[in-house]
Structure 1
């Protein structure tokens, strides 16, 4: 069974392409210490079924999934269509 983790923050580049903007995601471990993963690692974690990630805003929990656009893998919330800018765009910057 995959472990679940809430994504609470992201790091982004200044790129215009929304599929390449997010470089890292992060959150808090159960003991309150921060965690942070590169997008490449988060994608590997999701694809291997080792981890399931989600975001939560205003009491609404949405799963994070992998997608591919023009041969480039990225993450998005299940509530998004092709643009990965729904709930993930609302998160604060990771330290």
Structure 2
């Protein structure tokens, strides 16, 4: 299954890595029109262990693949692969 991440929710507090502030991600399967909202860790596990594919699309239609990452102390988070944009693709999404 492939999903497009459409929005995010962030928790409060200081985060050395701003991607760790993301608590939930809203998504849509553009083929079936199914939508949902899952925690950062649920999406992380789905991508890493179930070979799920997620991406972010900007206003110009450019897509950036969402990938898994871990901090030096093992905290799991999501980010996008490097692309032509200098902005943070996930953190630029609207709140759900």
Q: TM-score range by the shorter chain?
A: 0.7 to 0.9
Q: Residue 95 of structure 2 corresponds to which residue in structure 1?
A: 93
Corresponding pairs, count? 88
Query: 1:66-94, CA deviations, whole angstroms, 9 ceiling, x for partnerless residues?
Result: 001122110000127xxxx7100111111
CA distance in 1, matches of 2:19, 2:27: 21
Query: Which 5+ residue runs of structure 2 have no aligned equivalent?
Result: none
Q: TM-score, normalised by structure 1?
A: 0.80
Partner of 1:78: 81
SS state at 1:6 partner = strand
Query: Residue 42 of structure 1 aligns with which residue?
Result: 43
Q: Over aligned residues, Cα RMSD in angstroms?
A: 1.9
Aligned counterparts of 1:77 and 1:51: Cα–Cα separation in 2: 14
Give the C-alpha shift of residue 31 in structure 1. 5.1
